[in-house]
Amino acid sequence: MFTLAVFLLFLLAANGAAEDYGKVSTFRGASLQNEVFYPMIAQSVNLDGQIRVNVNKKEYQLGNHNFRVNDKLEPMVSLSALRDLFHVSVSCDPDGKILLQRSSIRANLTLGKRQWTKANGAEAKLTYPPVASGDNVYLPLQDICDMLGGELSWNNKTYTADLDLSTLPPLVLPEHFDLREEQRAAKVRNQGDATTCWAYAASGAMESTFLPANPVQISPDKILGTRGYGFTDSEGGDYMMALSYFLSGKATDQEGHPLSLYEARFHQKEDQREIKESVYRWGGVSTSIYTTGDVTDGGGYNGFTKAYCYRGSEEPNHDVVVIGWDDDFPASNFSGYVPGPGAFICQNSWGEDFGEGGVFYVSYYDSNIGDQCVSYTRTEKGRSYGIIHQQDEYGWTGQVGYKKESIMAAQVFEAETEELVKAVGFYATGKDTKYEVYLVQDYRGKNSLKNRVKVAEGTLSDEGYYTVAVSGQWRIPAGKRSAAILYLKTPGASRPMAVEYTTKRMTESAITNDGEGFISKNGLSWDNVEEKVKGDLCLKVYADPVKEGGK
C-alpha cells in the first residue's frame, strides 16, 4: 500500500512539473494508468467478486464468479455462464482451442488470440482475446453479444453489466449431435456383474462436463462407499443417491482431488428437446431404461445396427448416459416395430465390446428413455466455497408442505470460525419455482426469524438443485448462530420443500436430529421439521472463512 501511494505521488508530481511537455506528458500518464493501474484494479475487482450482472433487468444470482474483468477493465464471461445465458454449446480443449456453437453459428477461437474463424472459413477479430483463470475460460462479453445477439451496457465505475437477451434468437438444434465428435464423452467402463449402473452413469455424466479441457476420472466405488443408504450393492441405487454424494462437498476424482457440484437440473422424459438441449449445452445426461440383463434377452436389441427399443410397461431398471442424438436414425434399424425414425446416442457401462465401442442407439419411442433424467450444469474442480453448513448429506428423499404451493423454511447454523456467507443451496421441486432467500445474522430463537433480511430472489425454470449467491457482505463471527431462510412457491405443488428423512432406502443414521430446522406456512409461526416429519431440510449454506486482514 505504501509503495502504491508513493507511486501515485510521483505521478502527480510528474504531471504537475511537466507542463512544458504538453500532450506528450498527458499521453504518458494515460498509458501508465492503463498499463499499471488497470491490471491492479482488475485483480482486486475479480478477487473481491465486485462484478454485478443484470439479465433482462433482473440480477443474475447463479454466481458472480462466472464474470470477471480483463486488464482493460472490460467484462469477460465464463463458458459456464455462456451455456446458461446464451444456450450455446461451447468447449475448450487442452491446447486452448475453443469451439462455440449456436444454431447456424460455429466459431473457432483460441486462448490468448483475438482472431477467430467463422463456420464458412472467414476470419474475424475479437476486441479482446479469451483468457484462462485457474480451470476456467472467459470470453469477452461484448464480442459474444455482437456474435450471438443481445445487448450489453457496461459501467466500468460500478462494474455492473446490464444484459438484454430478449432479442436473442431461438436456439435451433442440429439434427445430429454426438459428444464423441468433440471429445466430450467420458471413457467407457465396465460395471461387471454388479448392479451399480447408476453410479457408473452418474460418474460418466459428471466426467463429461469437464471435457475436453479438464479430464477427470471419478471412481464409482467412492460413490458406493460413502453413501448412507440402507441398500447393498446388489440391491442397486438411483441417480438421487449419486447426486447427494456430489452435492455433499466430499466428492473427489480417482486421485483424491476435490470435485464440486453446485447445480443439477432434472428433465421430464416427455420433453425430448429439453434433454437434447441439455446434452448440447452441458454434456452427458444420465437417464434410465428397462433391460433384462443383457438387452438381447428382451429381443429389443439389434446387434448389427447397435439399436435398442423397449415398448413395454416395465419400470426402468438400468442407467445409461445420453451423449447425443440422431433425428434421422432409421426406424428399420430397430428389431421390432417403431413408429418413426430418431434415436438418442447412449453410453453404456458394459465395456467397449458392447455396441459401438460401448455406445448404442435408443429409439425416441422407447417407453422409458428420458426417465429419471438429470444433467450436471455447474461442476468445478476444487471447491468454490471453503465451508458448507448442511444437515442433508443424503439429499432429497421426501417433501414437506402445508397442502399449498408456498412454504418458508429456516435452517440454523453456527460459525466455527469467522466467515462470510456467500450462497445458499436448495432444490426446486417443480418447474417455474419462485424463491426468496433471507438471512438472520444473529439467531436467538424462533422469535428472531422475523428479523430476516432479503438477500436473493428469482424464478427457476427447471426442477433441480441450485446454488444462489447472496447479496451484501454477511460476516458471521466465530461461535455465532445465524439462520438462512428460504421462501418457495412451486406451481401446482402441495409439498414444495425437499427434505431428507427416513425411508426404506435411508438408514436411521442419516438423520442428524439437531433440532435446528423449521418450516412455516406464513413466516410468523414455525414448526420444527424434525418433529413434524422426522427429517432435515435440504437447505445448505456456503461460506468462506475470513482471512487475516479482514477478507
Indicate whether 260 and 401 sit together in one domain.
no
CB atoms within 10 A of CB 414: 13
Indicate whether 261 and 370 sit together in one domain.
yes
Residue at which a domain ends, from 378, 407, 423: 378
d(Cα 362, Cα 308) in Å, to the nearest integer?
A: 5
Indicate whether 295 and 333 sit together in one domain.
yes
| pLDDT higher than 80, residue 63 | no
Whole-number pLDDT of residue 250: 87
Indicate whether 331 and 429 sit together in one domain.
no
Indicate whether 401 and 339 sit together in one domain.
no
Share of the chain above pLDDT 90, in %: 76
Residue at which a domain ends, from 14, 32, 48: 48
Specify if 174 maps to a domain: no
Give the 3-state secondary structure of residue 334.
Answer: coil
Of 13-17, 115-119, 307-311, 336-340, least confident by mean pLDDT is 13-17
The closest alpha carbon to 379, from 544, 188, 214, 200, belongs to 214
pLDDT in tens, 149-160: 999 999 999 999
Q: How far is CA 445 from CA 202, 516, 517, in A?
A: 40, 10, 11
Of 31-40, 408-417, 425-434, least confident by mean pLDDT is 31-40
The closest alpha carbon to 196, from 356, 350, 345, 360, belongs to 350
| pLDDT higher than 50, residue 2 | no
| pLDDT higher than 70, residue 126 | yes
Specify if 102 maps to a domain: yes
Indicate whether 312 and 416 sit together in one domain.
no
Specify if 173 maps to a domain: no
Indicate whether 242 and 331 sit together in one domain.
yes
Indicate whether 84 and 40 sit together in one domain.
no
User: In this structure, what CATH number is given to the domain that contains residue 426?
Assistant: 2.60.120
Specify if 169 maps to a domain: no
Bridge partners of 135, per DSSP, are: none
When pLDDT is averaged across residues 395-414 and rounded to a whole number, the result is 96
Specify if 332 maps to a domain: yes
Phi-psi region of 368 (alpha: psi -120 to 50; beta: other; left: phi over 0): alpha
Specify if 483 maps to a domain: yes
| pLDDT higher than 80, residue 90 | yes
Overall domain count for the chain: 4
d(Cα 526, Cα 522) in Å, to the nearest integer?
A: 8
Of 85-99, 188-202, 220-234, 331-345, least confident by mean pLDDT is 220-234
Indicate whether 154 and 239 sit together in one domain.
no
User: In this structure, what CATH number is given to the domain that contains residue 121?
Assistant: 3.30.457.10
SS3 letters across 249-294 = CCCECCCCCEEEEEEEEEECCCCHHHHHHHHHHHCCEEEEECCCCC
Indicate whether 138 and 247 sit together in one domain.
no
- Domain enclosing residue 530, as ranges: 387-545
Whole-number pLDDT of residue 228: 54
The answer to whether 541 and 517 are in contact (CB under 8 A) is no
Specify if 261 maps to a domain: yes
How many helices (H) and strands (E) the chain has is answered by 10, 35
d(Cα 264, Cα 130) in Å, to the nearest integer?
A: 27
Cα-based angle 531, 537, 538 (whole degrees, multiple of 5) = 160
User: In this structure, what CATH number is given to the domain that contains residue 222?
Assistant: 3.90.70.10
pLDDT in tens, 356-397: 999 999 999 999 999 999 999 999 999 999 999 999 988 999
Residues 6+ apart with CB under 8 A from 248: 226, 388, 390, 393
pLDDT in tens, 429-461: 999 999 999 999 999 999 999 999 999 999 999
Q: How confident is the model at residue 22 (pLDDT cuts 50, 70, 90)?
A: very low
Of 77-91, 505-519, 523-537, least confident by mean pLDDT is 505-519
The answer to whether 219 and 203 are in contact (CB under 8 A) is yes
pLDDT in tens, 468-523: 999 888 999 999 999 999 999 999 999 999 999 876 655 555 555 566 999 999 99
Give Dmax over CA atoms of the chain in angstroms.
92
When pLDDT is averaged across residues 280-295 and rounded to a whole number, the result is 90
Give the 3-state secondary structure of residue 545.
Answer: strand
d(Cα 523, Cα 410) in Å, to the nearest integer?
A: 10
d(Cα 241, Cα 199) in Å, to the nearest integer?
A: 9
d(Cα 525, Cα 29) in Å, to the nearest integer?
A: 62
Indicate whether 370 and 393 sit together in one domain.
no
d(Cα 149, Cα 161) in Å, to the nearest integer?
A: 15
Whole-number pLDDT of residue 168: 94
Specify if 17 maps to a domain: yes
Whole-number pLDDT of residue 37: 87
Indicate whether 369 and 395 sit together in one domain.
no
d(Cα 363, Cα 107) in Å, to the nearest integer?
A: 31
d(Cα 229, Cα 505) in Å, to the nearest integer?
A: 6
| pLDDT higher than 60, residue 19 | no
Residue found under cell 459456464: 80
**Mean pLDDT (the chain, rounded):** 89
